[in-house]
Structure formats: C-alpha cells, structure tokens
Amino acid sequence: MPLFRKKAPEPELPSVLPEHIGIIMDGNGRWAKKRGLPRRAGHGYGAQTFRTIVKHCEKRGIRYLTVYAFSTENWKRPQEEVDAIMNLLRDYLKESLADFQTENIRTRFIGNFEPLAPDIRALMREAEEVTRDKTGLTLNIAVNYGGREEIAHAARLLAEEAAAGKLPPGDIDEQALSARMYTAGQPDPDLILRPSGEYRTSNFLLWQSAYAEYVFMDILWPDFRPADLDMALAEYARRSRRFGGV
C-alpha cells in the first residue's frame, strides 16, 4: 500500500468553455417515483444537486449559470407539490444567507415574482442585494419563469415607453428587446443542458437561446454529477458554432 493514496486525476479540461450555461433541472419526479418516494422527495434531492453543480460551475470558471427552477406552467401541478417546491426555495434562501456573504457568487432571479409569497420575495431581494457586487459566477435562478412571459413583458415595457413618447417605435430593434429581458446586460447562453431524457425547451430562455448549443442527457437531475457537467463541457468544445456564417 502506498503511503499516500493518489487522488483521481482531474479530467483534462476543454480549451473552449461556454461563458453562459443554462440548465433545465428536470427529472426529479421520475427519480422519486422509481424509488417509491413522493415527488417532493425528488425535488429535495434535486435541490442538493443544484448546490453541487453551482459549486462545480464556479470551479470550472463558468461566468454565468442560469437554472430553471419553476416555470410559469408548473402551477398546474398539485398544490402539495407546488408548496413543496416553494418550501425548498425558501429553505435554500434562508440556509444560504451566510454563504451569500462569504462566497463570490452574484445571485439573481429571473421571472415574474408577483404570484410568489411575500416572504420568499423578500428573501430573493435580500440574496440579490447581498451578492450584488460579487465578481465571480453570476447565478440566475429562474422562478415562475416563462420565455413567452418574458418576451410579452419586454414588449409591454417597450409599448409603455413608446406611449410615453420616450421611445420612437422605429427604434425598437433586437437590442432594445434584449435590454428589456430579465437577463439584460448578460451574454446569451452558449450551452443549454437538459437532463431527464426529454428533448424540448419547455419555454426556457426562448429569446436568448437563438444560437445556444443544446446537450440533452439521459439522466435524471437528482443523479446528475459534476462528471456529467464535464461531459457536457467536452461535448460543447467539439461543436462548431457558425452563427449563420460559414
């Protein structure tokens, strides 16, 4: 036996990394069902995976990470499940207050927060304020987020400015819309991951994903490990992005 056990070598990192990764954190319910557990247990494990993967993205030097936590369509689920997800969000925000202070992560929320409980909204605001000047990873958590809702919201803002005489309608271009998205000022996602074996966007970052590279993975979110993210990074590095050029 050697005196010191060698640590598993770090995988060789691809030279091209995405600046912005989006993740559709899907498959919690099926993961729980496979184990004879209630769906909410799957969300609990999924929340743990989220914490692990945020740290891993930071370690890999990713600048922006946007995670899909709750969609504008997810209210259709049984009230008990919606409550469980909201409780997990509340617990995460309360537990993380100390970490928000010490870590170098800028936490932001994207979506329409009006229907959320006032105490959750207050915790979200606090997380944003405490981490506002952090210079490391920017973490966007999408809560009651829908790509269509976001586009409609941006259109409403533009219409209000135009009606108030502050914006000539002829000035409304792609940049003007981008500047009114919840992700204003951030680069578009380069890579979007969807675990769980579903091949659809489910209303995630519709506007911003015009030229995103998609990686669909046949793994349920609670089972998703840092090594799976590394595999997706390697796959991304093999892609040839042309943006309509040659």
- In the bound state with ligand IPE, the residue whose beta carbon lies nearer, of 69 and 233, is 69
Could you give phi then psi for residue 185, rounded to 5 degrees? Answer: 85, -5
**Candidate ranges 24-32, 33-41, 107-115, 217-225; the one touching Mg ion (CB under 5 A):** 24-32
| Contact between residue 113 and residue 34 where contact means Cβ atoms under 8 Å apart | no
**Candidate ranges 18-26, 47-55, 139-147, 160-168; the one touching Mg ion (CB under 5 A):** 18-26
Output the smallest distance, CB 70 to ligand IPE, in A.
5
| Contact between residue 97 and residue 126 where contact means Cβ atoms under 8 Å apart | yes
- In the bound state with Mg ion, the residue whose beta carbon lies nearer, of 50 and 64, is 50
Could you give phi then psi for residue 141, rounded to 5 degrees? Answer: -105, 120
Residue numbers of the site for ligand IPE (CB under 6 A)?
Answer: 24-30, 68-71, 74, 85, 196, 198, 200, 202
Output the smallest distance, CB 149 to ligand IPE, in A.
13
By the rule CB under 5 A, 26 interacts with Mg ion: yes
Q: Which amino acid is at 123?
A: L
Question: Is 74 a catalytic site residue?
Answer: yes
CA distances from 169 to 3, 148, 164 (A): 72, 21, 11
| Contact between residue 110 and residue 140 where contact means Cβ atoms under 8 Å apart | yes
Question: Is 28 a catalytic site residue?
Answer: no
Output the smallest distance, CB 25 to Mg ion, in A.
9
Q: Which amino acid is at 221?
A: W
Residues that bind Mg ion (CB under 5 A): 26
- Catalytic residue positions, numbered: 26, 74
